Amino acid sequence: MASVGNGTEESSGGGEEENFEDAFENIPVASKMDLKCALEECSMALNLFLNNKFSEALELLRPWSKDSMYHALGYSTILVMQAAMTFEQQDIQMGISTMKEALQTCQRFRKRNTVVESLSNLVSKQSADQLSEEEMHAEICYAECLLQKAALTFVQDENMINFIKGGLKIRTSYQIYKECHQVLQMTQGNKSKTETYYQFEGGVKLGIGAFNLMLSLLPGRILRLLEFIGFSGNRELGLCQLREGASGSSLRAILCTFTLLVYHTYVSLILGTGEANLQEADSLLEPYLHKFPNGSIILFYAARIDILKGNFEKAQLRFQECIAAQQEWKQIHHLCYWELMWCCTFQQNWLQAYRYADLLSKESRWSKAIYVFQKAAILCMLPEDDLERTGEDIVSLFRQVDGLKQRIAGKSIPTEKFAVRKARRYASSQPVKLILPALEMMYVWNGFAIVGKRADLTESLLVTIEKEETALQNETNHNEYYMDDVCMLQLLKGLCLKHLGRLMQAELCFSKVVQSEKQIKYDSYLVPFTLYELGLLYKQQDEREKAIRYIETAKNNYKEYSMESRLHFRIHAALDSLKVSPASTP
């Protein structure tokens, strides 16, 4: 244990924004560090971070990052976040090496086991009583570091050994959280609970909550395989643990909040049915908006919630505030550009949408293939005069996409693979133009579930789709993609009609796609995705059995099509909402 010293009591992290900044200017580097003092200093660093003082937060944590488990965890977490945002190999390498050091620091504080003793012995009643407070915290910090290092291992290199190493780290992290959860249950009756005990409790709730929630999203066949090696996922338990953690006052309350916000504002949209709990997202964010009114991460989530409510104009203003709030982490600007691009797309403000896609393709390293495809797709929507003024060559942009794709954990990214396949229509000397590619990509990201909140904009999109439909019907020479294009337009048209409440017409559009299955040559994804949409349409009309039948058909009868895994995630979420699955234990 690090030698005991006096904590800086005035800097417990509960004051207003200016107090954090004043306090930071006067912080001497501590000469001694105990658990209580470490937690207080990390709380200050967290407040600095949420106030956009990213470098200052790192500087506060750096001096003790090799001698205090919480300083090590905090310091390496910020560097891992930076690496995840920049995607620069140098930053990823720095994140991994710092996380290795953090694991070594945490390891020094963990309970020493003999060769015969396994980690699971910690959960026997006798061992639980023998665990010191510091050793309990060391387990949680070690598990958090392990999980983050595993995530970075996946993006660092694409070889199978790294993939297996990453998987084993995740499994070890999961086992530690489960064992800490049992320790927590055994000590729950103790009367003398200290502040550091509640901090440990917050760490357990974050880990158990996040693991259960994320595992519960996985389609059944993957989850059954993971259960075989000791994983299990219970969505309700996960949400409950995270809500309890978010409502507490521990250091990890904000991390529980962010995990819930990511789930409500992104995961449930992209990998779910599009039914986000915005009421909970609002109430989770509200106290942080008051406490950190200029915090860029907080402003970003506030703007994202506005988008999901259909308040695109308000969201755009908030994203601009977020961009203006700080200049140090430009990657937060890139997240804003992505969202602003979609806001403009929903409003069919194509020139402005192009400008954001252009910025992303030039400045961000996250997915060059998607950005360039998106830019070209948006340019396809512009009138000829506006297109000429941009000076861009659509054919040339589409031809770049294939060379820009990347691999993570040895696998191609599904949306990039989809973009590459679509862009192939421009590869030959006689390119065949894509039909409304920007709206097709909107569907890939479940954007119709968002724009559907606005009848005026949905109506405008319907006009655009029907105009293209008429033009296609009037063509005398049909190319080989003709039926694929006809079916894609029927799918998009059906989505607009569904959100406008014209359900019978929507059903007709979806049925046309399914009936044309044998005539589709390339876009085989259209039929399973349309069957899924038909299932959701019947669910909306309380035809439960019919809904399940169509969704099950999409699940069982089709394979090896674009974005198959994404649809299986959505199918799992839809079936989960239609019938109760058996709950599993943590």
* pLDDT of 414 over the 80 cut: yes
Distances (CA, A) of 581 to 121, 236, 300, 389, 533: 32, 11, 34, 55, 21
CB 340 within 8 A of CB 319: yes
- The H-assigned helical ranges of 158-231 are 160-187, 195-216, 220-228
Q: How far apart are CA 223 and CA 221, in angstroms?
A: 6
* pLDDT of 117 over the 80 cut: no
Closest CA to 37 of 76, 1, 77, 83: 1
Least confident of 32-41, 220-229, 274-283, 369-378: 220-229
Confidence of residue 166 (pLDDT cuts 50, 70, 90): confident
Say what the alpha-carbon torsion angle 277, 282, 288, 289 is, to the nearest 10 degrees. Answer: 140
Exposure of 558 by Cβ count < 10 A (0-12 exposed, 13-18 middle, 19+ buried)? middle
The per-residue pLDDT for range 427-438, each reduced to its tens digit, is 999 999 999 999
CB 106 within 8 A of CB 142: yes
Between helix 69-86 and helix 54-61 the angle, nearest 10°, is 150
pTM beyond 0.85: yes
Q: How many CA atoms lie within 13 A of 26 on its CB side?
A: 8
The per-residue pLDDT for range 306-348, each reduced to its tens digit, is 999 999 999 999 999 999 999 999 999 999 999 999 999 999 9
Please, which residues bridge with residue 579 across strands? none
pLDDT for the residue numbered 194: 84
CB 210 within 8 A of CB 170: no
Least confident of 21-30, 229-238, 352-361, 390-399: 21-30
Kindly state the average pLDDT of the residues 97-119: 77
Closest CA to 410 of 145, 164, 83: 164
Kindly state the average pLDDT of the residues 351-378: 96
Kindly state the average pLDDT of the residues 211-239: 82
Please, which residues bridge with residue 408 across strands? 411
* pLDDT of 24 over the 70 cut: no
pLDDT for the residue numbered 3: 37
Least confident of 34-48, 222-236, 467-481, 554-568: 222-236
Q: How far apart are CA 562 and CA 412, in angstroms?
A: 12
Between helix 368-379 and helix 350-363 the angle, nearest 10°, is 160
Kindly state the average pLDDT of the residues 108-116: 67
